[in-house]
Amino acid sequence: MVDFQDLRKEYETHGIDESELLDEPMDVFKTWFVGASESCPAPWFETNAMTLSTSDGKGHITSRVVLLKGVDADSIRFYTNYRSTKGQQLAANAYAAVNFHWPWLGRQVRLTGAVEKTSREDSETYFHTRPRGSQIGALASKQSSELDSPEVLAQIAAELESKYEGQAVPLPEAWGGYRLTPDSFEFWQGRLNRLHDRVVYRNEFGNWARRRLSP
Ligand SMILES: Cc1cc2nc3c(=O)[nH]c(=O)nc-3n(C[C@H](O)[C@H](O)[C@H](O)COP(=O)(O)O)c2cc1C
């Protein structure tokens, strides 16, 4: 069995330099994201994979990984099924938290913010950039609903494949993008002896306030 108490790692990276702390936290995020992408040590690691946490009206929280698919001036985008668990929770509480972890850099980034659906045009445009197999998959899957067997899903996908052969796959009615507009960012850099650096930006009445936090 794994000895969990013995799982321990020292973070020997340098801290967060003041010069990295630009006025706009989205600019810091973009710089860190580019740094993570360019230094990513393994092709299987998706630097744009982020843990997204949502909650329903009763305060029940769920988390899952989704892919970051766009960064705009003051928001980030991801795409999913609107009738999934996350979609239902976002309909009940249009607020979410997102977390990135880039372990080879000893870095974590946390964002929170209000979430809204992107426009139908945006979803349409993104949907048609996806590989055809992924488009068929999105059309076939009633994401987060019960499925009798994997064969049932494969059969639905095969039927849709022949139905739309030679034609564009239509954007599923319940599929599309969400835009999260951060009201807070936290940049975490692991350091020796657990004396990590944490810098949080909070949007306070339209302006970004920046503070360092104890690790
Ligand atoms: C690396 C990775 C990337 C994923 N990307 C997405 C994505 O972009 N959109 C999505 O709907 N689900 C994605 N998933 C699947 C979700 O984690 C999740 O299983 C699914 O969205 C259903 O979640 P829900 O029932 O909480 O709504 C991804 C999973 C992994 C492991």
pLDDT digits (tens, 9 = 90+) for 105-132: 999 999 999 999 999 999 999 999 999 9
Ordered DSSP codes for 95-119: EEEEEEEEGGGTEEEEEEEEEEEPP
DSSP-derived secondary structure letter, 168: P
Q: In a 3-state reduction of DSSP, which class is residue 199? A: strand
Tokens representing 9? 């790692």
Catalytic residue (choose from 191, 194, 202, 212): 194
- The number of residues making up the chain comes to 215
What is the CATH code of the structural domain delimited by 12-125+176-213? 2.30.110.10
Q: For the chain, which residues make up each domain, given as ranges?
A: 12-125+176-213, 129-170
d(CA 145, CA 214): 42
**pTM of the shown model:** 0.95
Query: Residues enclosing ligand 1, CB less than 6 A?
Result: 46, 49, 62, 64-67, 78-81, 84-86, 143-144
Q: Which of 55, 167, 153 is nearest to 112 (CA)?
A: 55
Range of lowest pLDDT (11-20, 63-72, 74-83, 176-185): 11-20
pLDDT band at 189 (very low <50, low <70, confident <90, very high): very high
d(CA 156, CA 57): 33
Query: In testing the pocket of ligand 1, which one of 45, 48, 65, 85 has its CB within 8 Å of the most ligand atoms?
Result: 65
Asked if pLDDT for residue 134 goes beyond 90, the answer is yes
Output the CA–CA distances (angstroms, integers) from residue 82 to 99, 106, 138, 172, 197, in the order listed.
21, 33, 11, 10, 37
User: Ligand 1 mean position to 66 CA, how many Å?
Assistant: 5
Which tens digits make up the pLDDT trace of 56-76? 999 999 999 999 999 999 999
Cβ atoms of 96 and 90 within 8 Å: the answer is yes
Any catalytic annotation for residue 8? no
d(CA 137, CA 160): 9
User: Ligand 1 mean position to 67 CA, how many Å?
Assistant: 8
Query: In testing the pocket of ligand 1, which one of 56, 67, 100 has its CB within 8 Å of the most ligand atoms?
Result: 67
pLDDT band at 195 (very low <50, low <70, confident <90, very high): confident
